[in-house]
Amino acid sequence: MTTTTPAVAAPATTVVARPVAPPAEPPRRRTGGRRAADHWALWGSAAGALALTTLVFQRIAPLSGAIGFVLCVWLSFLGLYALVSREEGAMAVRDRLASVVVHSIAVLLLAVLVWIVLYVFWQGRSALAHLNFFTEDLSAAGPADPLDHGGALHAIVGTLTQILIALTITIPLGLSCAVFLGEVPGRFSRLVRTLVEAMTALPSILAGLFIYAVVVIGLGRSKSGLAAGVALSVMMLPILIRAADVVLRLVPASLKEASYALGAGRWRTVWTVTLPSARSGLATAVILAAARGIGETSPVLLCSGYTKILNLDPFGSPQASLPLMAFTLVKFPSQLHAARAFGAAAVLLGLVLLLFLLARTVGGRGPGELTRRQQDRRATRSLEDLRRMRRPEPTSTGPTTFDENQNQNQNQNRTNPPGGSPC
Amino acid sequence: MNDPTPVTGPADRARPLTANPGPADRIFLAWARGSGALVLLVMLAVGGYLAVRASDALSTAGWSFLTTEDWNPDGGRGQFGIAAVLTGTVLIGGIAVVLAVPLALGSALYISEYAPRRIKRLLVGLVDLMAAVPSVVYGLWGFVLLQYELAGAARWLATWFGWFPPFRMVGVDVDDPLNPPVVYTASSLMAGIVVAFMITPIMCSIMREVFDQAPPGEREGAYALGSTRWGMIRSVVLPFGRGGIIGGTMLGLGRALGETISVYLILSMQFEIKLQILQTGGSAVAPMIALRYGDSSPFAISALMAAGLTLFLLTLVVNFAAAAVVARSRSGASS
């Protein structure tokens, strides 16, 4: 007791109480997650269902078939899982059953997608393994010729030519129309928008029939890659316009208003503000429309027709395309032609995948959102602006030539507000 | 002394805000309007041209166009009509939608409600990719593989549920074990299944977009009241997304009605009304056009145009209805 605390010795002095250590917080409860019992219920029911179904299929009932087996396992799993969960109340049972059903549907859909893609590549592997599949056309190879004769070059060339023609028409017209819908509001643009939205689901065969009736029957021209390209562009136009319209509507109004406030006109605003801010989304729209157009068979079937010969001229004679080749060859009762059909489908699928990956890398960013490199470039540019704008000390510039001074003065005059005092 | 009346100047009037656009803007406006008008013209031309070319066949056939099953345009009046193909189209579309709705709904719910946040973006990309897979690929898959894989299931349905009229087999003894599986392929059901997988992704992505917009406050409210996840979905997400579900379904139906190539590959065309979905043979408008467009006579082409016009009007009605449902729903038109 030799050391008395100051608070006791001199009660008049106020001492700030030392903050009491806060009581130890109770450990956070986990609000989500699964308990061990949940895992046991899930996996136990799965094992039970598998065992029960195997027993029924092999010993008790004369059942067979893979589809039936999977279905029975699934149904008995649902039943067992419901029974096991029953003690937690009816609400928990319903929740778990719904969760299982939703999960299995998602798995089913993804499995089908993977199945389709892998199946096409697997069936086409024998044709794709031969390099001549990419360098020869099919004019010299019949249904009985082995796979090291003939290939899909005519179809690849035809597909690329036709999609190029279609894009040449679709991109300028579609983007202009999307800009029109976004920038010139009014009754007319509402009408156009309604019609375009309704035509998004125009069956592609009708686009083909329309061009076939106009070009081949009406004008009496022969079937050609050009007609097919035009038919594809009729089909792609509404898709592109709709996607681009959605993207353009996402451009923040504040950006456009800032541009108007700086005195820019409508054209200048569209060209320097709206379109560049939506660039990533517009590119995605174009690529996805191209992916849709590249896989269409029926417009090409009607407007261009199938040929086995490599045809570089899209104007006067039939021209094949990859989907049309796959469609035509798979109907032959020949295994070799079936393999070629799947090879063509695999090349087509590869092209679509490529376009799709391109769209994912280009797109997926909102308007005005920049990539790392764009940000860097912009930072460099603004640093440069800063250096340019910083007033040079007349003494520290040292031995500058007359020209440089002139330049700096001009820069200052440009950056200073007109009312400011030029030094 | 000081008169407080304010000095009255010229009365304030709203100034006109429109400025005189310069020549660049005038050209831009004309260009934009022109491209809009051109697109409008193209879209109208598709329907208009079909109607004009179809008038020949329609005026010859009259009402028999709607009631005749056969398709033999060169035979003249009463020999061709869309009763069979239109029924077949609606039948296949119906099968596809019935199968696709649970698939799309389930996967949309999974992506928006159940999937871990990490893989959500990947899943959205996969579904979009599935929508971009060309229809001829689905057709090849269904034509070469799927219909033989599923023939056993179709036989099972015909054996045990043959009392249900659509599953009845006409002229085939279902109990005969020597029946080749071929009698169960090339049927409306197989075509419908393949089309269902084709339309599921587009339906799924529309539904998912709407589900994602369900207000978080209401979700949390449901959880706060003690709801399970499924209870929250039933009381918040599904009611909120009802417009999207119906609209997405109808858009999928519109796609299914116009599907050509995969149905052409799988279905063996028969020009009669056939409601037995398990049995080989069926009909649809779009594959018929692809099958018969090479007919030489101008009248046959005109008849095809009439069939195409019917398909056009059907898909247009379905699409407009879908757009109206989506726009009127609480979630609104998202895209």
**pLDDT at residue A408 in the model:** 45
**pLDDT at residue A11 in the model:** 56
Closest Cα of chain B to A34: distance in Å?
A: 14
Rounded mean pLDDT, B127-154: 88
Q: Strand, helix or coil at B71?
A: strand
**Residue pLDDT, tens place only, A141-154:** 777 778 888 888 99
Q: Which residues, listed in sequence order, are joined to residue B187 by a DSSP beta bridge?
A: B280, B281
Residue A409 pLDDT grade (very low, low, confident, very high; cuts 50, 70, 90): very low
**pLDDT at residue A141 in the model:** 77
**pLDDT at residue A334 in the model:** 83
Contacts of A94 in chain B (CB under 8 A): 228, 230-231
Cβ contact (<8 Å) for A180 and B32? yes
d(C-alpha B63, C-alpha B70), whole Å: 14
Closest partner CB to B49 (pick from A98, A213, A327): A213
Residue B155 pLDDT grade (very low, low, confident, very high; cuts 50, 70, 90): confident
Residue whose C-alpha is closest to residue B232's, from B246, B244, B214: B214
pLDDT at A232 over 50: yes
Contact criterion met (CB below 8 Å) for B178 and B208: no
Q: Indicate whether B304 belongs to any domain.
A: yes
Contacts of B265 in chain A (CB under 8 A): 327, 330-331
> Which of A196-210, A241-255, B8-22, B250-264 is predicted with the least confidence, judged by mean pLDDT?
B8-22
Q: Which amino acid is at A187?
A: R
Contact criterion met (CB below 8 Å) for A144 and A334: yes
Q: Indicate whether B7 belongs to any domain.
A: no
Q: Indicate whether B314 belongs to any domain.
A: yes
Closest Cα of chain A to B43: distance in Å?
A: 7
**Residue pLDDT, tens place only, B14-27:** 877 666 778 888 89
Cβ contact (<8 Å) for A288 and B125? no
**pLDDT at residue A414 in the model:** 43
Residue whose C-alpha is closest to residue B96's, from B198, B244, B187: B198
d(C-alpha B151, C-alpha B172), whole Å: 14
Closest Cα of chain B to A308: distance in Å?
A: 19
pLDDT at A423 over 80: no
**pLDDT at residue A158 in the model:** 92
A-proximal residues of B, 100-159, CB under 8 Å: 102-103, 105-107, 109-111, 113-115, 123, 125-130, 132-141, 143-145, 149-150, 152-153, 156
Residue B5 pLDDT grade (very low, low, confident, very high; cuts 50, 70, 90): low
> Cα Rg for chain A, rounded, in angstroms?
35
Closest Cα of chain B to A4: distance in Å?
A: 55
Select the residue from B38, B140, B268 to test the A interface by mutation, using most A Cβ atoms within 10 A: B140
**pLDDT at residue B76 in the model:** 72
pLDDT at B31 over 70: yes
List the structure tokens of B291.
């099958």
**pLDDT at residue A349 in the model:** 92
Residue whose C-alpha is closest to residue A153's, from A165, A167, A141: A141
Expressed as residue numbers, the domain containing B168 is 81-328
**pLDDT at residue A395 in the model:** 56
> Cα Rg for chain B, rounded, in angstroms?
27
CA distances from A55 to A51, A52, A62, A73, B243 (A): 6, 5, 11, 11, 46
Residue A80 pLDDT grade (very low, low, confident, very high; cuts 50, 70, 90): very high
- Minimal Cα distance from A64: which residue of B? B152
Residue B82 pLDDT grade (very low, low, confident, very high; cuts 50, 70, 90): confident
Contacts of B200 in chain A (CB under 8 A): 109
Cβ contact (<8 Å) for B36 and A353? no
Q: What mean pLDDT is reported for chain B?
A: 86
Going by C-beta distance under 8 Å and a sequence separation of 6 or more, which residues neighbour residue A371? A365
Cβ contact (<8 Å) for B107 and A298? no
**pLDDT at residue B148 in the model:** 84
Phi, psi (rounded to 5 degrees) for A180: -60, -45
A-proximal residues of B, 21-50, CB under 8 Å: 21-22, 24-25, 27-29, 31-33, 35-36, 38-40, 42-46, 49-50
**pLDDT at residue A26 in the model:** 81
d(C-alpha A145, C-alpha A141), whole Å: 6
Cβ contact (<8 Å) for A349 and B290? no
Cβ contact (<8 Å) for B102 and A214? no
Q: Is B17 on the interface with A (CB under 8 A)?
A: no
List the structure tokens of B273.
């009304």
d(C-alpha B189, C-alpha B194), whole Å: 9
Rounded mean pLDDT, B154-176: 80
pLDDT at A421 over 70: no
pLDDT at A305 over 80: yes
Contact criterion met (CB below 8 Å) for A255 and A368: yes
Instruction: Please report how the helices A225-249 and A187-199 are oriented relative to each other, as an axis angle in degrees rounded to 10.
Output: 120
pLDDT at A353 over 60: yes
**pLDDT at residue A78 in the model:** 93
Print burial letters for B198-233: b (CB count within 10 Å at least 16), e (below 16): bbbbbbbbbbbbbbbbbeeeebeebeeeebbbbbbb
**Residue pLDDT, tens place only, B273-289:** 888 888 888 888 898 98
Closest partner CB to A199 (pick from B43, B128, B140): B43
Cβ contact (<8 Å) for B140 and A106? no
Rounded mean pLDDT, B302-313: 90
Q: What mean pLDDT is reported for chain A?
A: 83
Cβ contact (<8 Å) for B200 and A298? no
- Minimal Cα distance from A189: which residue of B? B36
Rounded mean pLDDT, A399-412: 45
**pLDDT at residue B89 in the model:** 92
Contact criterion met (CB below 8 Å) for A296 and A232: yes
- Minimal Cα distance from B292: which residue of A? A302
What one-character DSSP code corresponds to residue B184?
Answer: G
- Residue with the larger pLDDT of the pair A217 and A177: A177
- Give the count of alpha carbons within 13 A of B334, CB side only: 18
> Which of A339-348, B109-118, B135-144, B287-296 is predicted with the least confidence, judged by mean pLDDT?
B287-296
Residue whose C-alpha is closest to residue A246's, from A293, A283, A281, A205: A281
Phi, psi (rounded to 5 degrees) for A159: -60, -45
**pLDDT at residue A415 in the model:** 42
Q: Model's pTM, two decimal places?
A: 0.82
Closest Cα of chain A to B163: distance in Å?
A: 21
Q: Is the dihedral of CA A400, A404, A408, A409 positive or negative?
A: positive
- Residue with the larger pLDDT of the pair B29 and A392: B29
Phi, psi (rounded to 5 degrees) for A295: -95, 0
pLDDT at B293 over 90: no
Contacts of A298 in chain B (CB under 8 A): 260-261, 286, 290
- The count of other CB atoms within 10 Å of the CB of residue B183 is 21
**pLDDT at residue B332 in the model:** 57
Cβ contact (<8 Å) for A210 and B260? no
Q: Indicate whether B8 belongs to any domain.
A: no
Q: Indicate whether B40 belongs to any domain.
A: no
- Minimal Cα distance from A217: which residue of B? B298
- Residue with the larger pLDDT of the pair A366 and A139: A139
**pLDDT at residue B334 in the model:** 47
d(C-alpha B77, C-alpha A384), whole Å: 80
**pLDDT at residue B72 in the model:** 82
CATH of the domain at B264: 1.10.3720.10
| Distance from the Cα of residue B135 to its chain's centroid | 14
Closest Cα of chain B to A417: distance in Å?
A: 25
- Minimal Cα distance from A190: which residue of B? B36
Q: Indicate whether B238 belongs to any domain.
A: yes
Which residue bears the tokens 């598998």? Answer: A50
Number of domains making up chain B: 1
Q: Is B254 on the interface with A (CB under 8 A)?
A: yes
**Residue pLDDT, tens place only, B196-253:** 999 999 899 889 988 998 999 999 999 999 999 999 999 999 999 888 899 889 889 9
Instruction: Please report how the helices A187-199 and B298-328 are oriented relative to each other, as an axis angle in degrees rounded to 10.
Output: 110
For residue B267, what is the enclosing H or E element?
none
> Which of A7-16, A295-304, A408-417 is predicted with the least confidence, judged by mean pLDDT?
A408-417
d(C-alpha B237, C-alpha B229), whole Å: 10
**pLDDT at residue A378 in the model:** 86
Q: Indicate whether B97 belongs to any domain.
A: yes
CA distances from B52 to A104, B59, B297 (A): 50, 11, 17
A-proximal residues of B, 297-326, CB under 8 Å: 298, 301, 304-305, 308, 311-312, 315-316, 318-320, 323
Closest partner CB to A266 (pick from B25, B50, B130): B25
> How many percent of chain A have pLDDT more than 70?
87
Q: How many inter-chain contacts (A to B, CB under 8 Å) are there? A: 256
Cβ contact (<8 Å) for A202 and B230? no
Residue A373 pLDDT grade (very low, low, confident, very high; cuts 50, 70, 90): confident
Rounded mean pLDDT, A117-130: 89
**pLDDT at residue B79 in the model:** 82
Which residue bears the tokens 């946040």? Answer: B117
pLDDT at A398 over 50: no
**Residue pLDDT, tens place only, A86-105:** 888 888 899 999 999 999 99
- Minimal Cα distance from A71: which residue of B? B153
**pLDDT at residue A412 in the model:** 44
**pLDDT at residue B19 in the model:** 66
d(C-alpha B80, C-alpha B98), whole Å: 30
**pLDDT at residue A405 in the model:** 46
**pLDDT at residue B7 in the model:** 62
**pLDDT at residue A411 in the model:** 44
Concatenated DSSP letters of A300-331: HHHHT---SS----TTTS----HHHHHHHHTT
Contacts of A301 in chain B (CB under 8 A): 261, 290
d(C-alpha A330, C-alpha A340), whole Å: 8
